[in-house]
Amino acid sequence: MTPPLDLFHIRTGLQPAEREVLDATILGSATWSRGETMLPASDRDDNLHVIVSGWAARSRALRDGVRQITDFLLPGDVCDFLTTPTNGPDAVTALTDVTVAQLDRPAVRRAMQAHPAIEQAVLGLVLADQSVLRSWIVSFGLRDKREHLAHLLCELHHRLKRVGLVGDHEFELPLTQAELAEALGMTNVHTNRVVQGLRRDQLIEIGEGRVHILHPLKLREIAEFNSAYLES
Amino acid sequence: MTPPLDLFHIRTGLQPAEREVLDATILGSATWSRGETMLPASDRDDNLHVIVSGWAARSRALRDGVRQITDFLLPGDVCDFLTTPTNGPDAVTALTDVTVAQLDRPAVRRAMQAHPAIEQAVLGLVLADQSVLRSWIVSFGLRDKREHLAHLLCELHHRLKRVGLVGDHEFELPLTQAELAEALGMTNVHTNRVVQGLRRDQLIEIGEGRVHILHPLKLREIAEFNSAYLES
DNA sequence: CGTTGAATTGAAAGTGATCAAGGCGTGTGG
DNA sequence: CCACACGCCTTGATCACTTTCAATTCAACG
């Protein structure tokens, strides 16, 4: 059992002193299982949630029920640093069983005021989130579907590697092709064909909840992936 | 000559007391003309910029030079509340002549710490920005091009109206069809046809830098536009 | 006037969606 | 143990929306 905020600390690069301060704001933990909508425990739950383990997706739906995933939430990510209690039009869904650490929001705010490094770290996270959203827009606007998928795989690879969840270019990808399709804005049928395309070209092995990137350089080439946008 | 932060204050709904505090952080102003890249005046310019008048676009480019606009910056918007000095991979371009107010970033930070209402206002802005980015992703993923354009027009209408720049469903839209295309992720040729489609259906009048939304309800219906995501 | 930027039109090609069906593994109940 | 249902992946054929390429119009401007 690793400490709850371990991966968060790795991401932010905070020093031990500040890590302790943030660890002290932990109130408890909560879990959801795959498929559940991650609603706050109560209407008055103003906690701040950090994902300890598991994957989640933030999404919006249109009237006809189709939904678009706008964001993947990975271990070490913050669910809702800045969100309103109601979360607005966004739904957060557990893609696997998910455990989150609950932090006391006022205490975190105080920690930010007392420790500039913590404030910097949090601002950096928000910045990085925005940058990922922009990169998704670029993928939708400028890349074809093959490139888009390649870019998403590179992004996930990079983000997971950063928190030590990638071994030898292989990592867990707990997404069905239908869920991938909801993130890429395409049909599951076409997603399947694009996946097969990358497989056929010996670029990736994928299936059973895992991906193995066989040729990282070529994949990044196809995606025109530049990790700079992910660095704080 | 309206006070520099006037539109910003309207957006955030701050009270006069807090408005004065923020006004006191103004160091000066800067201008760019249409087409210019809005770089900071110097490498060490750590000011925070609020758009006083004019439009700008944030964009990213791929190697082949094609660029994707990820964001429009309108009067009252903050250019770079949270950005790094280098702005990362993003470029900000003036779409018209643009005037910005330069605020002293440390002073703003102090203002936020001293006045919770200011902190709330700023967090609200960041939240709203993220929400707009997500709505763009939804448009790309779920809406066809006609709906996407309709949604963008509704968004701009709503954002401009909020700061008093819309009169009777008519407002300035200082974008060429090619620039619209760069935001919508489609070719200028197809943009032209989609624009004509909305025109033919008597939904909008558009041209010469202005739009007139003839049938707001139908347009929102087509776009499945719900302004909730824009409210703080 | 010639030039330039923007809007417009036409025809052909292509990418991705849609519709429909089949395969495969797993779990469950008869 | 077998039948069946279910979730997920896969395949094929067809259709539609968008792109691409090539030209044309038009107004503003020097």
A203-216 per-position pLDDT tens digit: 999 998 999 999 99
Residue B168 backbone zone (phi > 0: left; psi -120 to 50: alpha; other: beta): left
Instruction: Count the residues in chain A.
Output: 232
- Evaluate if the CB of B147 falls below 7 Å from strand D: no
Separation of alpha carbons B160 and B173, rounded Å: 10
Residue B52 CA and nucleotide D25 C1' are separated, in Å, by: 38
Residue (of B117, B90, B89, B98) closest to B49 by Cα position: B98
**Measured CA to C1', what is the nucleotide nearest A184?**
C16
The angle that helices A188-200 and A145-162 make with each other, rounded to 10 degrees, is: 80
Burial of residue B18 (CB within 10 Å: 0-12, 13-18, 19+) is buried
- A64-103 tens-digit pLDDT: 889 999 999 999 999 886 666 556 789 999 999 999 999 9
CA distance B71 to chain A (A): 9
Separation of alpha carbons A110 and A105, rounded Å: 9
Separation of alpha carbons A207 and A198, rounded Å: 12
How large is the average pLDDT for residues A166-194?
Answer: 96
Helix (H) or strand (E) holding B34, with range, is none
Query: In sequence order, what DSSP letters do the residues of B194-212 get, joined into one string?
Result: HHHHHHHTTSEEEETTEEE
B63 inside 8 A of chain A by CB: yes
How large is the average pLDDT for residues A163-191?
Answer: 96
- B151-183 tens-digit pLDDT: 999 999 999 999 999 989 999 999 999 999 999
Q: Select the more confidently predicted residue: A43 or B227.
A: B227
Helix (H) or strand (E) holding B60, with range, is strand B56-61
